[in-house]
């Protein structure tokens, strides 16, 4: 296989703001008179050094996303890129912190704009979007409670999940139990970024305290064989982002990445881009990299799609419709 563009793909780990094309952010900044030149390199790409600086640049880029219309246009731009690489279903992490500062009334307006764009993209591009509201770990547990209320109040056909992202080294996951319990009561699917920077104990903490069905990244589980066995036995799904992990230095190169060892051990794996323009990737590039590094072919990629289908935070009718699109032509 050489061209992976047209393979139908499901992406479960995509940050909406983090997927903003640099040109889109630069254009907004220019129109609004905001100087963001310090976050771009000479070629116009995002510029940062290491994970903490990545978070700084990410949040700086978000400062020009100030209106529901901005997020409407952002959503269309992101989904256009996804559809161009064969994505038929995407779950985007949406942060009310960046959409009205966690104010519920403001969040409703932002969410409506995102959903309208998603409906347009589905009709015109064939890609379905669902939203996973995400609290920011380094903003603290009290702010997470505010975000969880936004999730509770807007859970439904479009907002289907709840998660936590941000600096994994800030605080402890046990501090966020209240927010996850609130989201669970609202019927939302649950996921948590864990086991990217901290070790396997962080994955265990997400399972124990937050009781999630999916783990964002989770790759450091490989350091604990008993945990790997547990993930395989329970069917816990890992939202693996190989390109992100390599660019940020979690692993030196793709061949050193544990995604193949996790898959071979029976762990349920999906593959995503995380924040694609920050990591110079897209879903076709992710598939091509796995083909080169580990020899993955059609059966492995078909398995990725089926795992994504089972793990998706969507209703049964959406899942059935996507299943038909995954059937061989």
- CA torsion through residues 314, 318, 321, 322, sign: negative
Question: In 214-275, which ranges are continuous DSSP H helix?
Answer: 225-234, 242-247, 259-264
Neighbours of 60 (CB within 10 A): 17
SS (H, E, C) 136-165: EHHHCHHHHHHHHHHHHHHECCCEEEEEEE
The Cβ of residue 157 has, within 10 Å, a number of other Cβ atoms equal to 11
Angle between helices 141-154 and 104-125 (to 10 degrees): 60
- Report CA-CA distances (Å) from 63 to 25, 77, 110, 144: 9, 18, 15, 20
Name the token pair of 199. 């070790």
Sort 116 into a burial class: Cβ within 10 Å, 0-12 / 13-18 / 19+: middle
**Is 300 an annotated catalytic residue?**
no
Question: Are the C-beta atoms of residues 239 and 270 closer than 8 Å to each other?
Answer: yes
The catalytic residue among 17, 168, 196, 286 is 196
Q: Which sequence positions are flagged as catalytic?
A: 196
């Amino acid at each position: 296989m050489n061209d992976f563009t047209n393979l139908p793909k499901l992406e479960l780990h995509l940050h909406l703001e983090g997927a903003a094309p640099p040109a889109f952010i630069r254009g907004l900044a220019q129109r609004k008179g905001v100087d963001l030149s310090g976050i771009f390199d000479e070629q116009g790409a995002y510029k940062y050094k290491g994970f903490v600086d990545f978070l700084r640049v990410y949040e700086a880029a978000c400062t020009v996303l100030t209106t529901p219309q901005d997020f409407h246009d952002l959503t269309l731009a992101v989904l256009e890129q996804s559809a161009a690489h064969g994505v038929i279903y995407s779950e985007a992490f949406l942060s009310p912190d960046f959409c009205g500062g966690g104010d519920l009334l403001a969040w409703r307006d932002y969410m409506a704009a995102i959903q309208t764009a998603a409906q347009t993209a589905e009709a015109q591009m064939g890609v379905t979007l669902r939203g996973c509201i995400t609290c920011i770990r380094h903003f603290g547990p009290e702010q997470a409670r505010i975000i969880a209320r936004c999730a509770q109040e807007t859970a439904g056909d479009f907002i289907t999940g709840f998660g936590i992202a941000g600096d994994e080294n800030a605080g402890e996951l046990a501090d966020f139990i209240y927010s996850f319990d609130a989201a669970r009561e609202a019927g939302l699917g649950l996921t948590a970024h864990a086991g990217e920077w901290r070790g396997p104990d962080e994955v265990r903490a997400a399972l124990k305290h937050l009781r999630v069905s999916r783990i964002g990244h989770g790759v450091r589980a490989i350091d604990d064989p008993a945990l790997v066995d547990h993930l395989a036995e329970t069917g816990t799904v890992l939202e693996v982002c190989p390109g992100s992990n390599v660019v940020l230095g979690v692993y030196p190169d793709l061949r050193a990445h544990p995604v193949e060892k996790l898959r071979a051990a029976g762990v349920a794996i999906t593959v995503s881009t995380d924040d694609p323009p920050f990591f110079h990737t897209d879903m076709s590039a992710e598939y091509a990299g796995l083909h080169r590094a580990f020899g993955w072919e059609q059966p492995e990629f078909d398995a990725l799609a089926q795992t994504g289908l089972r793990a998706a935070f969507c209703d049964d009718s959406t899942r059935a419709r996507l299943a038909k699109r995954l059937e061989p032509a």
